[in-house]
Amino acid sequence: MNEQESSEKKPKVFDACPHCGRALSPWEKVLLGVDRALMCKHCWYRIILSINNDDKSFEPSKNKE
C-alpha cells in the first residue's frame, strides 16, 4: 500500500468547529474520527460526520438549528 492509497482511506477530521471556528483539541479530533459525532463545547453545535457511499469520504451533515 502506498501513501496515496492510505491517505484516501483515512477519513477527514476537522481541526476546528465548522460553526464557530474554535480549535478542536487532539482528544476531540480522536473522538470525532472514531464516533463521527461531537458537540462543540463553545457553541454547542453538533458536529456529525456522515459517510457518502459513492466516494467513501466524510462530509459534515447539515444540522437544523
Confidence band, pLDDT 50/70/90 cuts, at residue 60 = low
Confidence band, pLDDT 50/70/90 cuts, at residue 4 = low
Q: What is the pLDDT of residues 29-52, one digit of tens each?
A: 999 989 999 999 999 999 998 866
Q: What is the pLDDT of residue 49?
A: 87
Longest dimension (CA), the chain: 42
Q: How many residues does the chain have?
A: 65
What is the pTM for the complete model shown?
Answer: 0.58
Work out the angle at residue 15's Cα, subtended by the Cα atoms of residues 21 and 52, and round it to the nearest 5 degrees.
105
The amino acid present at 65, given as its one-letter code, is: E
